[in-house]
Copies of this chain bind each other. A is one copy, B any other.
C-alpha cells in the first residue's frame, strides 16, 4: 500500500529546482565530501543509475507490519531530521541529481517480529533497504526481523538523502546490512568531571547515528560519586562534587529510556576494590584506613575486604543497581591503582587477616578473595547474567566465571593489546578491545590512527577471533567535560563506529574513508552536533556553530 505519486508536472518542477540550485562552490578544501554515502559503510550496497526527488515537506513513513512505541518515536525523530532542511546548501560533490526519474513521498517500514522492550547483548540488528524508481513510479522499503534492525535501517535511509536546493535527491539503492561485531561501545567518565544529562543525551544521539549499541557509563571514581542511590543517599550527598553534580534516580531513568528507544544499552560501571575514594565519606568503614607511624594517617585505600559488613553493603547497593539498570550486564571495574596494595600493607588489621588465612604478603590473593566474594554477590542478582571487568582482573590470575567479558585497554602502542587478546581468548574468555581507542587525549586528525585498528588483528584461531565481541572507545574525563566532550569524542568515535560495524575489506583504506567521513561530519553538523573537523574543508552548516 501507501505510496502516493506526484504527477509528471510536479516532478518536472522538482527536477528543474534541483538543476537550478546546483551551484558549485569554490576554494580548495583538502577534502571533498561524498554525497549520499552511508557511515558506517553497509555490508552490501548496490546503486542504480536512476534517482528520485524527496520533498522534505511532503514525506512520510508507512508502517506495514508490527509497530511499537520505539518505532513510533524513531519515525518521529527521522521525520524531524528530514524536515529540518538546511537553508543554504551548495553541494560540493555530485548531488546525484542526474537522471531524476520520479518523486518519492513515502517509505514502507516493515518490522516482521514484535518489538523487544530493551536492547541486549546479541540482539538482532540486520536490516534491508530497497529504494527503486521506474518511470514516474518509485517505491522504498526498510525491513528487518527486529526493531533494532529497523532503527539501524532508518539511520541508513536518512543518510541516503542528499540535500540539493530545497529538496533531496535519492539514488535507487539496495542495501543488505548487518554489524560485524555485536558489542560496539563508547565509555564516558562522569566522575572526573560531571557531564549534564542533556550532554549525555547528545552523545547518545551521536552513538545512534554511528550505529553504536552500548554506552558504558563509568559513573563514579576516586574523585566524585555523582550516582544517587535510594538506599544509600549519603554516597552522593557526601561524595559528589556538589548537590548540583548528582545524577538522581530520574536522571538515570531518563538516560536509560533515551538510550533504549535508540537501541543503545546502558552498562553502568561500579569500579572496586580500588578507585573508591569518593565512596568513603558516605559509607563509614567501607574503605581501608591507611597507616603511617603505626596510626591511621587520615587517608583511605581500597575497600576493606576484612569487614563482613562491606559485603552486605555491596549486596544491597548492587541489588539496587541491578533493579535500576535494565541491561543484564554490569561493569565491575577492577583496574589497578598502584597505591592500593601499599595502603593494605600499611594496615595492621589487613596484615593480621592475611596471616590468619596464610596469604601474608600476597596482595593479589587478597584481591582474588575479595573479587570472588563480589562475583558471588553479582551472580545472585536477578537481572544480571554477565559482567565486564578491566583486563587487570584477568592478568592477576583471579578465577573468572564463564560469563565474563574482559575489556582490554593497556598499551595501544607496541601492540601489547594483541598479546592480551591472544591470551584472554586462548583460555576461552570473551573480550572487547579498547586499547586503540582512548579518544580523550587527542584531536580530530587522529581519526586515521583509530581507523587503522582492528580488534581481531592478533594471532589466534577462528574460535579465538569469535570471542572478540567488539570494542569500545573510551572518553576518560580528566580533561573532558560538557564544554568539550562532543568535539573531543567526535568524529574520532565515528572512525571506531565504522571499524566495529563494517567489514574489514570495506574499512582498510583511510583514503577511501576520508571523503565519506567528511560527508558524515557535515551531516552531523546539519543535525546540530558540534563535531570537530577532520581536515581543511567546509560544511554548509558549519557557519551556525
Contact = CB atoms under 8 A, between A and B. Distances in A.
Specify the main secondary structure of chain A where it touches its partner: loop
Interface string A424-445: 0000000000000000111111
A223 B443 contact: no
A487 B477 contact: no
Nearest to A446: B479
Nearest to A488: B443
A479 B443 contact: yes
Interface stretch (A101-109, A192-200, A206-214): A192-200
Nearest to A192: B536
Contact of A239 (B26, B441, B536, B537): B26
A532 interface: yes
B536 A445 contact: no
Interface residues of A, number: 62
Interface stretch (A27-35, A57-65, A459-467): A27-35
Contacts of A47: none
B444 A479 contact: yes
A222 B28 contact: yes
Contacts of A480: 533
Interface stretch (A178-186, A242-250, A352-360, A406-414): A242-250
A90 B243 CA distance: 9
A513 interface: no
A267 interface: no
B29 A224 contact: yes
A225 interface: yes
Given A90-B242, A540-B244, A482 B545 contact: yes
A442 B446 CA distance: 11
A530 interface: yes
A16 interface: no
A526 to B, nearest CB: 12
A496 to B, nearest CB: 18
A29 B245 CA distance: 12
Nearest to A238: B26
Contacts of A222: 28
A445 B442 CA distance: 11
A382 to B, nearest CB: 32
Given A26-B239, A27-B245, A482-B542, 9 more contacts: A26-B240, A26-B278, A27-B225, A88-B244, A193-B542, A199-B545, A443-B479, A443-B488, A482-B530
- For the complex of A and B, the 3 pairs showing the least CB-CB separation, nearest first, are A27-B224, A482-B545, A484-B487
Interface of A: 25-30, 88, 90, 191-194, 196, 199, 222-225, 237-245, 277-278, 281, 440-445, 477-484, 486-488, 525, 530-538, 540, 542-545
